[in-house]
Structure 1
Amino acid sequence: MTRAAWIRHGSWAAVAVAAFGLGSVRSGDDPGSTARTGAVSKTESRASPGRASGGSGGMRAAKGGPGRAADQPRGPVAELFPLPGLPRSEREFDALARQAFQDGNPLARRAAFTRFLEAMTRENAPAMRKYLVDMNADKDQWKDFHYAWGSIDGEVAVKHAMDTREYDMEFTMSGWSSMHPAEAERFLKELTAAGKGENVLLRRGLVAGLADADRSLATAMIFDLAGAGAKNTGELLGIVTGKVLQRQGIAEAARWSAELPDGPLKAAAMDQVAHAYAGKDPRAAAQWAERFAGEDYASRVIEEVGDEWAKRNPAEAVKWLVSLDAGGGQNSGLRSALSRWAQRDPVPAGEHLARMARSPQRDAAINGYVRGLATKDPVGAIEWADSIANDRLRAEALTSAGKAYLQRNPAAARAWIAQGGLPAGVRKAVLKP
C-alpha cells in the first residue's frame, strides 16, 4: 500500500493513549541496554498495550485526538507541544512523521510518536512502517511500533516481520502475545511442527508479551518447557524476572522468586533478584538471602549478595558471610568478597584472614584473596596460596598467583618455578600460554 492510498481508507483505529502514553514502551529490555538509532538488524530484543479491536474495520478517530474532552485543561508541558488531530492525508502523515522522528526536542518527538501510533490500522501499518525505516527511527520507537502492530494484527504482523531483514520479530510477537496469547502460542507450535525449527526470537517475544499480560501464565509456560527438555529456559525466565523487578519492584520480585519450584530455574531467578536487591540495599538483601543459605539452589544468591555488598563495604560483607551456616553459598560468597577486599584494601583483608581458624571457609576466603592480590603482589599471593589446606583450592590459587607472577616479572617467576616444589599440574598450568 502506498502512503497516498491511506487516504482512501477514511477511518483510523485509535490505539489507546494510555497504552503508549508520553513514555516509551519496551519488550524484554535489559535496564542497562543502550538505545541505538535506525532500524536495528536481526541480531538483537516492554509494553503494556491498551486493548485494540480485533475486527477488520478501523475506528473513527475522535476530533482533536482520542481520550481528551474538548474543555479538558492541558498541563504546561502539553501546551509546549500542541498536536493536530489524527492525520487524514499523506501530507499530514508526512508532517507528523517528521515531528515524531526528526524533531530536535525529545518531548515533542515522544508526543508526536504517540499520535503516530494512534493512527495505526491493520490496513496502513505496513506503509507506516516505511516511515520508521526512511526516517531512522530510534530503537524504542522501532520496538513500540512493532509491539503495537502485533497487538492489533498479530499473525499478519509477525509473518511480515519474518520476511524482513530488520530486527522486529521479537517485538511484534510480544505485542501479539500480550493481546492474544493462545493464538500466538498456537502459531509458534504450528511453525515448529511444520519442520521450520524452534525460532528463538519468536519464543522470547511470546514469553515477553505473555509476561506483560499474565506473569503466572508466562512462568508456567517456561516451567513446562523446561520439563519437556527445552533449551534456554533460564533466559526465558530471566525475561519474566526482569519485568517483575521493573514493574512490581524488588520486594515483590523477592517474594515471587522465592516461591518458584526448587531447582535451577528458581536459582537463576533468585540470582537475578539478588543482584538488583544488593545493588540497591545490600543489608536488606542480606536479610532476605540468609533465609536460604542452607539451600542448594541459593548458592549463587549468597555469592551475589556478598559480592555486591563487598563492592561498597567488604568488611561488612565478609562479617555477614561468616555468620551464615556453612555451605556452598557461604564459601563462594567469601571467595568473591575477599577478592574484592584484597583489591581495595589488602592489609586489613589479610589481617582478617589471619584471625580465621583453619576451615573450608578460610580456604575459600584465601582463594579469593589470592585472586584479588595477585596482580599487585604476586609473591605475597603465592605465600597465602601455600597456606590453603584443601589440595584442589591450593592448586587453583597457586596457578592464579603463578600466572600473575609470570606476567609481572617473567624472569623471577621462572626462577621460582625452577626451584621445584610445585605440583606438576600447577607448573604446567602456570606455564601454559
Structure 2
Amino acid sequence: METKGAGRSLAWLLATWGVTRAVLLLFVFQVFVFPGPDVTSDVSVIYRGWYEVLRQGTFPLDDVTWQYPPAAALPVLSPAVLPFLSYAHAFFVLAFLADVAVLALLLCPSRRPGRSPRGAWVWVAGAPLLGPTVYARYDVMVTAVAVAALVAGARHPRVMGALSAFGALLKVWPALLLVGAVRRRAWWSAAVTASGLAALFSVSMPGAFAFLSFQRDRGTEVESLGALVFHVARHFGWQGQVLLNYGSIEFLGPYVGLVSTAALGLTGAAFGWLLLWRLRAARRAPHTLAEAAFTAVLLFTVTSRVISPQYLVWLIGLAAVCVSYRASRMGAPALMVVAASFVTVVEFPLGFLHVVLSDRYGVFLLALRNGLLVAASLTAARRLWHSTVPPAPTAPLPPQPAEPHQTPVSP
C-alpha cells in the first residue's frame, strides 16, 4: 500500500509540474500574453545585446546595467548551443532544462531515510507562482547550481565547495551556501575553484570585474524594503523621482543615499549575526547546511537595496532543499516564501504601475510581500539559532539556609 501511495503521489507531482511548466512555456513563447509589462524583453533585448558584445571576447564595459560576476557570461552565451532557435527561444528552452534539473535533484534523494518529497512539491508549486519571470531570467540556472551544491554538501564537501564558488561567480549570492559548511575540504575547494575561474576570466576577457563599481553606485530600487519609506513619503510631499537607473527602477532624491546606507548597515548586521551563529552553533544535523544557507540568503535579500522578482526563485529553491529533510524546522518560512512569490507576481508584472506610482494598492502589495519576507527571515533565523545553539548554562541557586529547629513550647 505504501508503494502504491508513493507512486500515486509521484504521479500527481509530475502531472502538476508538467501542466504548470507547459503554461509557463506558452507565456514566454508568447502563445499567450501574460498581463502587464513584457517580462521577456530582458532576454530578447538586454541579454541579446550582451550576447553580441560577449561574442567579441570582452565584457560590456560601457553598459552600467551589466552588474554581474564574470561567469554570468556563460548563461548569456548559452543560447549559442541551440543555433537552430532564435536567441530568446533558445534561452527559454535552457531555462526550462534548468528547471528540470532542479526537480531531478530534489526527487533523487527523496526516497532516502529521513528525506521527503515535500521539497519537490515546494519547487513544483512555488516557482510557477512567479509567472513567466522564472524562465525570463538566468536566475533559475543559478538556482540549479545552488541546489546541486546543497544536495551534494552532506556527502561530497569538495563538490559542494566547487559548485558554491562557481555559483558565486554566476551571481554572488551562492557564496552564502558556505555559511554552514564546517569541513575544510568544502572551503578549500571553493577557494581553489573561485581563484582559478577568476584568473581565467581576468586573463581571457577584459573587464571581468568592472561590475563591482556598477554595483557600488546603485540606489534604492522601488521594490526593496527601504523603498517603502519613500513610497509612504510621497504621500506627504517628498520631492523625489522614480527613474530607470542602473538597469532598474529606483528612487532618486533627498535622503535616498541615507536609506541606501542604512540598508548596507542592515546587511552588515546580518552578516555579523551569521558569524556569531557560526561561532556558537554546536548541534549540527544533516539539514543544518541547507537551513543555514536558506537563512543567510533570506537575510541578504531583505536587507538588499534591490529586491527584484527573480530573487524569489533563489529562495524557493533553497526552501525546497530545506523541507526535503523530514527533521527540518523551516516549514513555516518556506510557506511564507511561497506566499511571497504569489504576492510578487501580483506586484510584478501585474501591478507594477501601481508600485511605480506609489498608490495605496501598490504600497499595500509591496508592504505585504516584503512583510512576508521579513517574517520568513526572522522566523528562519530564530529556528536556526534554537536548533543549533545550546542554551547558556544557568548558575546554580545558592543553598538556602536551614530553618532553625524550633522546639514546641508546652502550654
**Length-normalised TM-score, structure 2:** 0.24
**Length-normalised TM-score, structure 1:** 0.23
